[in-house]
Chains A and B, each alone.
Chain A
Amino acid sequence: MTKHAKQGDGWFRDAIDRAVCDLVHREFFHFEASISLPIFYSNGDSVVVDVRPSGNGFVVTDSGATYQEADSVGAAAFFTRSARKWAEESGVTYDAQTFAIRDVAENNLAAAIAQVAECSRRSYDIAYEKLCAKKHEEDEQALYIRLVSIFTEKRVVPTAKVVGASNHEWEIDALVMLDGNRALFEYVSARNQTSYTPVAAKFHDIARLDNPPARVSVVPSFEEMGDVVALLQQASTVIELSSSDNKIVSAATILAA
Chain B
Amino acid sequence: MAVEGLQIRGWYRPSRPDAEVMLQLELHPSAAKARQLERIEWRPLGKHKNKRPIPGIAALQFTGSHIHEFELNYLESEQRMLANNLPNARPLSPDVSDFEKLLALAESRLNVKGLCAGIPEPDWERTLFDD
Contact = CB atoms under 8 A, between A and B. Distances in A.
B46 A47 contact: yes
A56 interface: no
A109 B44 CA distance: 23
Q: Which applies to chain A's interface (DSSP): helix, strand, loop or mixed?
A: mixed
Interface string A39-50: 010111111100
Interface stretch (A7-15, A28-36, A165-173): A28-36
Size category, A interface: 20 to 34
Contacts of A25: 46-47, 63
Size category, B interface: 35 or more
Nearest to A42: B84
Contact of A73 (B36, B41, B48, B50): B36
B48 A45 contact: yes
Contact of A45 (B15, B33, B46, B77): B46
Interface in A29-86: 29-30, 32, 34, 36, 40, 42-48, 63, 65, 68, 72-74
A40 B63 CA distance: 13
Contacts of A42: 84-85, 87
B117 interface: no
A30 B83 contact: no
Given A25-B47, A27-B45, A44-B49, A72 B11 contact: yes
Interface stretch (A177-185, A201-209, A220-228): A220-228
B38 to A, nearest CB: 12
15 contacts: A25-B46, A36-B46, A36-B47, A42-B84, A43-B68, A43-B84, A43-B85, A43-B86, A44-B51, A45-B44, A47-B46, A73-B85, A220-B32, A223-B78, A223-B79
Interface of B: 9, 11, 13, 15-16, 22, 24, 32-34, 36, 39, 41, 44-51, 61, 63, 68, 75, 77-80, 83-89, 127, 129
